[in-house]
Amino acid sequence: MNPRRMSLHILFSCLLLHLIDSSDNLAPNNAMKDGDVLISKERKFALGFFSPGNSSLCYVGIWYYGQPEQTVVWVANRETPVSDTSGVLAFDHYGNLVIHEKNGSFPIWSINVSSMALNNSTTAQLLDSGNLVLIHDLSKVVIWQSYDYPTDTFLPSMKLGLDRRTGLNWFMTSWKPEDDPAPGSCSFKFEPTGYPQRFLYKDQVPYWWPGPIIEKRQGSLARMANNFIYNITIVNNAMEVSLMYAVINVSVLSRYVVHESGLVKHFIWHNEEQRWTEFNYHPKELCDYYGKCGPNGICGANNADHFACTCLPSFEPKFPGDWYLRDGTGSCKRRQGVSMCQSGEGFVKVKRLKLPDTSTAHVDMGLSLKECEQECLRDCNCTAYSSANESFGEYGCLKWYGDLVDTRGFSNLGQDLYVRVNAIA
C-alpha cells in the first residue's frame, strides 16, 4: 500500500473534518486542531492533521484535495509525530508556526524563523501549488515555505539543488515503511559539485543517476509523451544551483516520489479513471544501477545472454577472472605499457553514451568542442572530454580527470565521449 494513498475513513480517523472559515490561510490569532483543514484557493490542496495507514500517530501534512484516495505530498513533523488527537498547529508569540502536543509548553515542531518575524505579523497560506508559505503581513514577503523542506515528493515549481546564499539543500527523502513518514534510506538530489547532476542514493551510496542534463540542438529541455509535456529549468549561478520542472498543461497533476524500495517514480493523475498512473520509474534496467561495470567500464546490456560490460578504449579488465564470471564491478585499468603524456597520444570518439559521472568534471561553457580537445590534450591528467551544450554547434566543454565512472552505451541515443588514448591504443 502506498503510504500516501489512504481511504478517507482511514486518513481522518483522528476526527471528522471541518474547514476553518473555508479559508486558505491561518492567521496569528487562529489555531488548527485535529480535524481542522485549510483548503487552497482553487481547492487543489488541503492541509491538516492525518494518520498514515494503520498508525495511531498524527502528523500535519499537505495532500491533494477532493480525491477518492488521499495522496500526501508534504509532512511537517515527519520525525516528531503527535501521539494522540491533542495536536495543535498555531503561531507562538515570536511569530513562528509550531505544533504542540497536549498543551505542552515546548513545541514538537517549529519553522524557527523568529529572528525574521514580528509578533502577530505573519500569516500562513496554503497555495494552489501545494506550497505552504509564511507571509509577513506588512511587507508581503515570504519568509518561509514548505517547498524549501521537501519530503518524498517533487511537485511542479519545486526546486532540487542548493541555495548558495542560505545553505538550504533541497532534496527528497523516502518515507520509512508505509505507516512512518520519517526519513528513510533513499534520497534524490540535484548535486552542485562538478557539472550539476541528479542522483538517487540508497543508504547514502549512489544508486542511480540519469546522466548530466545536456541542452540539445532544438534548444529545449521539453519532454513529451501521451499529450503530457513538461519543461526542465536549470539554474547555476552565484545564488543557487537548482533544477525545476513545469507542466505545460496546468490541468495535469504530476508528481515524482522517491520510494524506500530504491525507486524514483513519476505519477500522472487521470481524471476519467480517478486514479494515479505510473508514468515512468527508475532504475528499471541492469545498466541503470550506478557503477555496474566499475570505473572505466561501459555498461550496454541489450541482450541477457551477453555480458553487459566492456572497457573503454585503451583499458582492459582489472580482474579478468571476475569478468569471466560476469562481475564487472572490479573496474578496468589502463593497458600495460600505455603512457598518457607523451607525443602521439590523442582521443578516440565513443558514440552514443550516457556520459560518465560529472561530480569531478570541469566545465567551461565558453569553449568550442575543438578548443575543448586542445585544452584536454595539453593537460596530462585530462582523461576525456565532451560537449556540454549541443544547441549551438556543440559549444561548452566538459573535461574529466581520473576514472570515468558509470558510463553507459546506447544503440540509438546518447552523446559522444572523446577518451584519451596512447598512439598505440
* Residue 380, pLDDT score: 87
* In the block, residue with C-alpha cell 543517476: 209
Nearest to 156 by CA among 77, 35, 268, 29: 268
Which residue did the predictor score with more confidence, 158 or 328?
158
* Residue 118, pLDDT score: 56
User: Distance from first CA to last CA of the chain, Å, rounded?
Assistant: 54
Q: Is the pLDDT of residue 161 over 60?
A: yes
1 — pLDDT class (breaks 50, 70, 90) = very low
Lowest mean pLDDT among 2-16, 125-139, 171-185: 2-16
**Mean pLDDT across the chain, nearest whole number?**
86
Q: Where are the beta strands (DSSP E) in 260-345?
A: 263-270, 275-282, 297-299, 309-311, 315-317, 332-334
Q: Is the pLDDT of residue 233 over 70?
A: yes
Rounded CA separation 52/176 (Å): 12
Extract the C-alpha cell encoding 227.
499529450
Q: Is the pLDDT of residue 392 over 60?
A: no
Residue range 168-174: average pLDDT?
97
Nearest to 103 by CA among 79, 87, 80, 90: 87
Rounded CA separation 352/397 (Å): 17
* In the block, residue with C-alpha cell 498524527: 58
Which range is most confident: 7-21, 96-110, 115-129, 215-229? 96-110
- Chain Cα centroid distance, residue 17: 33
Q: Is the pLDDT of residue 357 over 50?
A: yes
Cis link prior to 283 (omega < 30° from 0)? yes
* Residue 322, pLDDT score: 84
Tens of pLDDT, residue by residue over 242-279, are 999 998 888 889 999 999 999 999 999 998 899 999 99
Q: Which amino acid is at 133?
A: V
Nearest to 192 by CA among 357, 366, 359: 359
The DSSP string of 55-108 is ---BEEEEEETT-SEEEEEEESSTTS-BSSTT-EEEE-TTS-EEEESTT-SS-S
What are the Cα distances from residue 405, in Å, to 359, 360, 361, 401? 10, 10, 11, 11
336 — pLDDT class (breaks 50, 70, 90) = confident
Question: 175 exposed, middle or buried (CB, 10 Å; 0-12, 13-18, 19+)?
Answer: buried
Question: 103 exposed, middle or buried (CB, 10 Å; 0-12, 13-18, 19+)?
Answer: exposed
User: Which structural domains are found in the chain, ordered by start?
Assistant: 1-144 (2.90.10.10), 150-284 (2.90.10), 300-421 (no CATH)
Which range is most confident: 65-69, 213-217, 342-346? 65-69
Which residue did the predictor score with more confidence, 397 or 330?
397
pTM for the predicted model, two decimal places: 0.88
Tens of pLDDT, residue by residue over 48-64, are 999 998 899 999 999 99
Which range is most confident: 223-232, 381-390, 400-409? 400-409
* In the block, residue with C-alpha cell 486514479: 275
